[in-house]
Structure 1
Amino acid sequence: AIWFFILCTFALYTGSRAYAPDPQSIRARAGEKGGTARFEGILVELPAERVWSNGKKALEAEFRVARIESESGWEPCPGKVLMRIDPAPEIIPVVGDLLRVGGYLTLPEGPKNPGEFDRRKHLRSQGLDYLFRVHPADLENTGRRESAWLERLAAGLRAHMLRATSLGLEKDPEAAGLIAGMLFGYRDGVGQDLREAFRNTGTLHLFAVSGQNLAVVAGMLLWILAVTGAVRWRWAWMTLPAVFIFCLATGMQASAARAFVMTSVLYVGWVIGRPMDAANWLGASLLALLIWDPLQVGDAGFQLSFLVVAGLMVFSASWQKKIVDWGRADPWIPRRLVAPWRRGWTKIWLIVATAVASSAAAWTGSLIPGLFLFHQIIPVALAANVVAAPMAAGVTVLAAISSLVAPFFSVGSVGLNLVNARLVHFLAAALGWMATWPGGHFSMADPRAWFDHGPWVKVLAVEGSAPTLISGVGGKWLLEPGSTKGWGNSLRPFLNWHGIQGLDGVGLMAGTAERMAGAMDLMEGWRIGWWAETGLGGKSGALKSWRGEMEKSRIGRRFWRVSDQVRLGEDWTGEILWPPAGDGGQAEENGIVLRLSCGEARLLWAGAISGAVERELVLAHGDELRADILIQGPSKSMEANLSRAWLEMVRPKTIVRWERGLEDDSSLSVDFADLTWLEGVEVLKLKETGCLTLRPDPEKGIWRLHSWTGR
């Protein structure tokens, strides 16, 4: 009760700080709107590279602002922003450089779909209220600032660890990325497929710097201290600066900050000769972190880290004792009479019991945040962590030694990295296999989805596609899985948010990678009733791979062509209007056009058809195209669609439009805006509205629309 009161107090304090910032700060000046600005400040972390869908690159880094340029000159303006330099400059600034940059200040995007990661909330918990978009031409590097020596030291250590752990692994970037991720939380080198395997086995925490990482670093430092003859309890505190710099090099994640504070409290206990109670140890660390940065209260990583450690402290010791008792020899038998093999087995059983009890306790601690934050329960994590945690500890130890010896013994570092590569590949293969276990992970619906009854259609806001979930009596069906990136960032969290374990049917509405590559991920671990596609095209590598997997697994498919009737449960009926039977050419890009009906309510799902296909559909179907809702995105070739003849025949009341990457939508011209205004047509851009929920009235033939973002 005391700690709950303290948490509530700091939550209120955090809110007061958010609503009453320093009058000179960026937040007080920019408010919720942002705008153009010119800042002077220091780069405080290594820039991370971002690659857009069109292949162009940008850089993102944390930028600590000191001053802002105004009409009267430079004025104090403290704050931090996430600076994005787009496109990436030829000469990359380094940590500690004093920069003068001009750009546009905007709020980070919030979640556009249910279940999506709230990046805005996460960045705010890190003290980053804004995204600052900068062009390289507006960046002026005035040189190194000597006062930023600590940031440069941490960045140098991070760069050194990245280089050291990749020595000898130039041809194996996957292994190098996994090793760096387990040592200091570097995730950019871990591919999407591997992340899915770690996520589905509840072992993604291995890439978060925590007590295990700090135990390795602190243990090495204490060993070096012991070699000098120093007494641990008296001189251990001398290693804290090095541990702190390591934490800074990792980005000072919530779990790293918690582990550092707990290490500091432990060392203080050694110095003053006081035993450390587990609850007081964790509580003191929690209080210290909240005093240091109360914004951490709202960070999911902060909450998860403390709950997992609390689970370990509360349950692991008692559970370990019970498990050890199951494999222990009869205590009434004298030890000299116990067979040698039995004594050896007792030692092995103690190790197994410790691993099992720790895994179960950590899983129990993560259960509540897993339900409410990630909408998942992962039973396979109980077994996966028994395997993964000891192996990850071994990888971390070898990686730390490799980083330590690399400057003066590179051959030894290469040898350690090669051994580590074998370990991480074995670990990845084992977790990939565990991720496919039936019932290994399943979704739990958000409370807001419990009462989401009745027929409805939800269109997700995803770049380059419009994954559409249809619900009604008899099941749930998905049109268009979208890209691999869209699957990981939006569609999978969306399905978890609804508590969906499987789908009664999936329609691949086009063959291009940005609209169907997510089908490969959907095949793994999700129950699918049936699959449907056109059966045409075949140039797309993603489509070929998916068809190959389907044939290998001997899974049947439905082929949708013009005039085919589709029945989706009791509420929904559909008719395929495109492609024609035997059609080839651009069918892979144009995809499927489906008219969906729920009683008198009609919806036309037109994908990304071109203007030429619109003309053919108008000639072939005429008034049959009529629908109150038209879902249609820009064509692959960026040829203008949504022609006047097409709109006059469909006569939509609402047009739902998705975006295609960074390209301009040529169809949304001034003439188009005039036409829709005259006809009373509402144009909803998913980029602005977020996920749209469409609820039909089968008797009246009308639709009720609801936007996830409230716009």
Structure 2
Amino acid sequence: MFTPSFSMARRYGKTRGLPTPCPRATLLNMRRPLFHAAAWYCGGVVLGEFQPAAPLLLLTFAAATGLAVLAFIWINHVADVAAMQRANLYAHPARLAALFSARLRPILMALFLVLAGWTNHALHTSVLWPNDLRMLAGDTPRDATLRGRLANTPEQRGNRWLARIDAAALAENGEWQSASGRVLATFSKPPDRGFYRGRHVEVDGVLTRPPPAAAPGLLDQRRLLALRGIHYELRTDRFTQWNLLDTPHPPRPLSDHFRTWAMTNLARSLPERDEALELLWAMSLGWRTALTGEVKMPFMQSGTMHLFAISGLHIGMVAAILVGLLRVLRVRRGRVAWIAIPMLWFYAAATGWQPSAVRATIMMTLIIAGWSLNRPVDLLNSIGAAALLILAWDPRQLFQASFQLSFTVVLALALVLPPLIDRLRPWISTDPLLPRALWPRWRRAAMWLAFWGINALAVSLVAWLASAPIIAYYFHLFTPSALLANVPVVTCGMFALMSCLGSLFTGALLPFVSELFNHSAWFFMRCMMITSEWAASLPGAFEFVRAPSGWFMGVYYAIFFGLGSGFLFREKIRRWTCVVLTLLALFGWQALLTDREAARLTLIPNTPAVFQESFRGGPNLLIDTGPAGSINFTVLPVLRSRGVDALDNVTMTHGTKHQIGGFTNLFQKLPPNAVFRSHAKTHSPYSKAATSWLEQRSNVARIVSAGDHVGDWKVLHPPRDEDHRRSIDDALVLRATFNNVRVLLLADLGELGQESLVHRIDNLTADLVITSFPNFGEPLQPWLLDAIQPKVILVHDSQFPVDERTTKSFRTRMSRAGAEVFYTTRKGGMRVEIKPGKWRIIDAAGRTLWLDGRR
């Protein structure tokens, strides 16, 4: 028997004796329709990211599905009208059709939402027009002149200035053609004051694709900008000509005037422009110039960096102040939204339209509007509405770290926090039969502090548990200190932000009051800085970790939300919960044991350095350090992305600048337990600097020669009785076997060293060879290749210095070597993963280059 539609049952169920269907039978729970709709829509966006399709085809299917949903709604309406006129509900043909549509409609609605998300993603990511920059510019860097409109007022980031330009025309060799797309322009000198958002400009430079990830696990600038709709950079220099095209010029945006005035107002009466003042600008106005690497590192390591993104905390406090002030002025509740909401959006504009600010403003707009209209506010439904609006405008935001952090934390606060507080409050509750009026004052104050502390700790715990995997995935940080630091730092941050807002509200009319607020804000910011630095300096305050896998994050959040919300404690599924958790624990333990058996080697790009991770619980090893300029930009980020907090062993193959120029720079931050180098003499100043550093730490230095061991590696060259004139002929050669895969590391061994190696070692065969390009001669001479017979060759070359580039003759010879050859200049930093029974090589983008002998 078919179940009548929900609207019919609600209208006639009691009078006609029809059964009332349960709302849970529908796929879209009508109690929170927007939350469920957002979930289906997100599923479509994810599908579009991993399964691209033609936008026109998707649009056709989405439109057809939408028309089918409307048709079913119309059929249900006709059936309702017919049922009102007939005693027999099933006598009209439309009623029978409605019975079928009642079951198909939720499925079609879900399918429509999935297709809508998929289609919207395709429309935002596909090339739709022939004048798209991706069609005109291609992947090759080129000199070009660009005309377009400034999408933002240029901002300073470090020693560079950035501006986004919406392209209108592109010229190459003096020929102009129409163009569309957003370009990120970078320039080294501060722009003229006449350049601001909305101006039409003409600028020349090198138009190129943003750089991809330099090594697996590092920041992929190309993908990060693509998620913001930017596919090209325009790199300029001090000779670049910037010209304004619009006359008369449009007025400067009001938000720019407000930010300039606000920064001046917040600095009033403060003695100097110090770090605390710049951080106040960053926290209250979104001025990101202050957030340099050294300044923000203590906040990142203590898990409190979120305070400097204009987010829900800032927007919520601004909204609370506005609503409270309007109610004090006796503005009617229904009119509060008409005043508060536009001011919230102005604040979002004044802070630079940061995505986190826009998301929080949308959420607060929905909440204030519902409160003004006397409508009950459901947090989950508001989350769904905000997600739908944001993703309908730009579905690419779903894959941004800030979006994922914001909505995951808010969802956790909505689902997990209330049950947790309900469990914690009985611990500090008093006798419920004792009236509150009989409590002494000290007890009331103590209870208020206890409840506030419980709530603050619960919020900190839930937010930390919800955000920890995402932070580990994107930033490779695990911050237990956030549990301790968040409560005092967020409290100080709230007072600092309140002081800033008070200064801005009173700055024009009551300047002396504004100065008091400025000093108060500066004091609380100093408290934040001191607390964050103290928390980051605690033992075990933070650790660098490898990015968790996708399946781990999925299982983690399923357990977190299931247990936190109490869903998995339900009586009907409690036993199944125990069984599944036990199986997951066994599977996780097995995966951990398997991971310990894997050997991983990472070739660090733009350097000859190779990093070997801990194998079967043994020490890690860094082979060479690279030049000094690559330490902060490449070597340290790679080590941190692999979860390295301390270096066990370091090996110096020989003493040239390209090999060990950054020795002292690296070891000031990551001092090793042992440093291995050969006995061969060298006159390199970089080797002398390293030797001087080691002489001060005699327990660290180790001298090795052929026959010795460095961790899992055996030294093959140089022998103790050899000392060549060129240091490259004395470079250390290492060989190791991981899970029956033999790896030979030649460094940039010169020709004389290669001859010595072939004559002395009877069996040089290896499955994998890693080599660098020497500054004299070529590596892997034919006789050495015949002796090794490798399956794969990884060449550690670089564009600079010039003598480290591979030559055309070498590449031609390698193409005939009978082995797969990969170059770091083409593939970026590569990682070798050797597991029992199989091994593979992946490039900087995470794509598999070679697997078990199959490319």
Decide: shared fold, TM above 0.5: yes
Q: Measure the CA separation in 2 of the matches of 1:579 and 1:351.
A: 70
Identify the range of structure 1 (278-287 vs 155-164) with the bigger mean alpha-carbon deviation: 155-164
Where does 1:174-323 land on structure 2 (aligned, <5 Å)?
A: 174-193=275-294, 195-222=296-323, 225=326, 230-231=331-332, 233-323=334-424
The answer to whether the aligner puts 1:5 opposite 2:19 as a matched pair is no
1:33 aligns with 2:181: no
Match of 1:686 in 2: 824
Give the alignment partner of residue 415 of structure 1, picking from 519, 535, 542.
519
559 and 73 in structure 1: CA distance in 2 versus 1, 3 angstrom threshold: closer
The residue aligned with 1:603 is 744
Structure 2 unaligned regions, length at least 5:
1-35, 46-116, 553-590, 850-855
Relative contact order, higher structure (CA 8 A, sep 6+): 1
1:343 Cα deviation from its structure 2 partner: 1.6
Q: Is the 8 A contact 1:177 1:187 kept in 2?
A: no
* 2:424 counterpart of 1:424: no
SS at match of 2:537: helix
Equivalent residue, structure 1, for 2:714: 573
Aligned counterpart in structure 1 of residue 540 of structure 2, from 427, 434, 437: 437
Q: Which has the higher strand share?
A: 1
Alpha carbons 1:466, 1:658 under 8 Å: kept: no
Structure 2 residue corresponding to 1:485, chosen from 626, 630, 633: 633
1:641 pairs with one of 766, 775, 779: 775
Distance change in 2, residues 1:174/1:348 (3 Å): same
1:54 equivalent in structure 2: none
Match of 2:79 in 1: none
Separation of aligned partners in 1, 2:460 and 2:256? 33
**Are the aligned partners of 2:798 and 2:805 in contact in 1 as well (CA < 8 Å)?**
no
Contact 2:310–2:354 (CA under 8 A) maintained in structure 1? yes
In the alignment, the residues of structure 1 paired with residue 841 and residue 710 of structure 2 have an alpha-carbon distance, to the nearest angstrom, of 23
1:707 partnered with 2:847: no
| Counterpart mapping for 1:501-520 below 5 A | 505-507=649-651, 514=662, 517-520=665-668
Say if 2:747 and 2:771, in contact at 8 Å, map to a contact too.
yes
Contact in 1 for aligned 2:663/2:690 (Cα 8 Å): no
Deviation at 1:60, TM superposition (A): 2.5
In structure 2, what residue type is equivalent to 1:6? Answer: Y
* Structure 1 residue matching 2:241: 3-state secondary structure: strand
Task: Check the 8 A contact 2:153/2:196 in 1, yes or no.
Answer: yes
Residue aligning to 1:22: 128
Q: Report how far residue 309 of structure 1 moved.
A: 0.8
The residue aligned with 1:64 is 166
In the aligned structure 2, how far is the partner of 1:179 from the partner of 1:157? 16
Tell me which structure has the larger Cα radius of gyration: 2
Per-residue deviation, 1:388: 2.3
Which residue identity does 2:777 align to in structure 1?
S
- CA deviations 1:286-345 (Å, max 9, x no partner) are 111122222222222212211111111222233334333322332222335434322211
- What is the rounded CA distance, in whole Å, between the counterparts of 1:403 and 1:463 in structure 2? 48
The 3-state SS of whatever aligns with 1:79 is: strand
The match for 2:28 is none
User: What is the deviation of 1:477?
Assistant: 1.6
- 1:123 match: 225
Q: 1:684 to 1:649 in 2, by over 3 A?
A: same
1:227/1:444 Cα in 2 relative to 1: closer, same or farther (>3 Å)?
A: same
CA distance in 2, matches of 1:540, 1:181: 43
Which amino acid in the other structure matches residue 13 of structure 1? T
- SS of 1:475 mapped into structure 2: coil
Superposition deviation, residue 65 in structure 1: 1.8
Q: Distance in 1 between matches of 2:125 and 2:744?
A: 44
TM-score, normalised on structure 1? 0.78
Mapped to 2, the partners of 1:627 and 1:171 lie a distance apart of: 67
- CA distance in 2: counterparts of 1:590 and 1:242, whole angstroms: 70
The offset of 1:470, in angstroms, is 4.6
Cα separation, 1, equivalents of 2:194 and 2:735: 53
Report the AA paired with residue 693 of structure 1: R
Distance 1:109 1:278 in 2: 40
Task: Quote the offset at 1:453 in angstroms.
Answer: 7.5
Amino acid at match of 1:492: R
Letter in 1 for 2:490: A
Judging changes above 3 Å, is the alpha-carbon distance between structure 1 residues 308 and 140 closer, same or farther for their aligned structure 2 residues?
same
Preserved CA contact (<8 Å) 1:657 1:683: no
- Aligned residue for 2:620, secondary structure, equals strand
Aligned with 1:691: secondary structure? coil
Deviation at 1:123, TM superposition (A): 1.7
Q: 2:625, 2:635 within 8 Å by CA — same for their partners in 1?
A: yes
**1:208-233 deviation digits (Å, cap 9, x = unpaired):** 22111112333444466457553454
CA contact (8 A) 2:311 2:357 kept: yes
In 2, Cα distance between equivalents of 1:222 and 1:591: 75
Moved more, 681-690 or 206-215: 681-690
Distance change >3 Å, CA 473–CA 89, structure 1 → 2: same
> Which residue identity is paired with 1:659?
S
Q: Is the 8 A contact 1:402 1:413 kept in 2?
A: yes
Quick one: distance in 2 between partners of 1:533 and 1:405?
64
User: Where in structure 2 are the equivalents of 1:536-551 lying within 5 Å?
Assistant: none
1:637 corresponds in structure 2 to none
Specify which of 214, 223, 244 is matched with residue 142 of structure 1.
244
Residues 540 and 339 of structure 1: CA distance in aligned 2, closer, same or farther (over 3 Å) = farther
Q: Secondary structure at the match of 1:99?
A: strand
Inter-CA distance 664–326: structure 2 relative to 1 (3 Å threshold)? same
What is residue 458 of structure 1 aligned with on the other side? 601
RMSD, matched Cα = 4.8
Task: State how far apart, in whole Å, the 2-side matches of 1:564 and 1:126 are.
Answer: 54
Match of 1:202, SS?
A: coil
Look up the match of 1:446. 549
- Within a 5 Å distance, the mapping from 1:103-114 to structure 2 comes to 103-114=205-216
Q: Where do 1:311-460 residues align within 5 Å?
A: 311-367=412-468, 369-370=470-471, 373=474, 378-402=479-503, 412=516, 415-416=519-520, 418-434=522-538, 436-437=539-540, 443=546, 445-446=548-549, 456-460=599-603
Identity %: 22
